[in-house]
Amino acid sequence: MAKSKALIAIFFIVFVDILAFTLVLPYLPFFAEHFGASPTQVGLILTSFSLCQFLAGPVLGRMSDTMGRKPVLILSQVGTCLGFVILGLAQNLWMVYLARVLDGITAGNITVAQAAISDITKPSERAKAFSLIGVSFGLGFFVGPAISAFLSHFGPQAPAWGAAFLSFCSILSTTFLFNDSPHLHDSKEPFRIKKSDLALAFNFKPIGHYLAHPKLRPLLAQFFCFNLSFSAHISCFALFAERRLFWNGEPFGAKEVGYLYAYLGFIGIAVRSWMISALIKKFGERGTSRIGFFAQAIGFGGYFFVDTIPGALMASTISSIGSGLIRPSLAALMSHVAEPKEQGIVFGVSQSLASIASIIAPFLAGLMIGHLPLGVWAIFAGGSMLLAFLFRDSPAEPKAQPN
């Protein structure tokens, strides 16, 4: 019962955070263009968030291992909330950059939530438990963009204020619903940030250490390829749709992109709720992840041919199915390999690799859309997933260890 309550609390916290993020996601490229941003500058705005997230990932993961999950979650959520407030107040492009930088520095919510799940579940249960985060992603992508599309009628900054409100709700949720696992510390250490903790932000040794791990290396490489592809897609799809898709004779805008993202969220819910358990039972976590890689390669690459709404829906459906399978499968595989007291830092390293991909991908995607034929963007996104599919991973499925 205690485990179920903890998982419900984690699910709710992540869901509210993702809901806030997806409120901003569909309209941010259009909002930046409102201040005169080019496609390349839109990519740089998203790159600035990911660069800061990359620097912060290991330190937030290590802090949660030593100080507890709850204080780090609250710190992360406060930074996210302030970032959304600044975005709501933005009057020029530099304030948009500032908002994303602040959010990136404190973006440890998912990393810490994954480590918290590992604290309270047996290895054999983790794929199913990690799928809760996947379901929260799906619900967030379903509800958040739809709300964003609705709020866009009330002004370009209304979605940012909606996101700030939801982010504040997530702080309250963590404060009153979430409890740390008692085995994390042998002593009650007061919550404070030390200089030695901050130095981890510039310590790249953990990344090299875990990339040298023979069983973690292929999983981390696949996770990197997945995020490279996903980031290229999600960061600049709005710019692609604005130039390629039309509704009632008008180019796609924030409202149309928001509703399309809501559809993707619905597909994600279906995959993570009904499909992934059956596939893992039949093919295992490794086989399920490979099915996801192949599906996402086909879906993202399919945008090369898309110039109609039905075509966009088909490509988006296939890619969303792939994404729904990949995230929980890879997270579970990494949790099996990592030692119990290293869960936070391993997921922090994986988040740093995701951030490196997110640093590279939006900038490249913006350059491609701004200076090359639109189809090149699709080839890049699909090709990255094909590379993950072809990557030679560890030959043996990790064995579940007793809890």
107-162 tens-digit pLDDT: 767 777 777 777 777 776 766 677 677 677 767 778 888 898 888 888 878 889 99
Q: How confident is the model over 151-183, as pLDDT tens digits?
A: 888 887 888 999 899 889 888 888 887 776 655
For 11-19, what is the mean pLDDT? Answer: 79
- pLDDT, residue 272, reads 75
Looking at residue 198, its pLDDT comes to 55
Specify the pLDDT at position 184: 53
The whole-number pLDDT of residue 403 equals 39
pTM above 0.85, yes or no: no
pLDDT at 31 over 50: yes
Give residue 183's pLDDT.
54
User: What pLDDT was estimated at residue 134?
Assistant: 67
- Whole-number average pLDDT of the chain: 81
| Mean predicted confidence (pLDDT) in 87-107 | 89
**pLDDT value at 275 more than 90:** no
395 — pLDDT class (breaks 50, 70, 90)? very low
Residue 401: the pLDDT is: 41
**Would the pLDDT of 396 be above 70?**
no
Confidence of residue 228 (pLDDT cuts 50, 70, 90): very high
398 pLDDT band (50/70/90 cuts)?
Answer: very low
Residue 191's pLDDT is 46
Mean pLDDT of all residues in 25-39 = 88
**Residue 312: pLDDT over 70:** yes
- The answer on pLDDT for 366 being more than 50 is yes
Q: What percent of the chain has pLDDT over 70?
A: 87
CATH class of the region 2-176+206-390:
mainly alpha
pLDDT for 399: 42
Between 63 and 259, where is the model more confident?
A: 259
Contact at 8 Å (CB) between 35 and 160? no
Summarize pLDDT for 235-252 with one digit per residue, the tens. Answer: 889 999 999 998 888 888
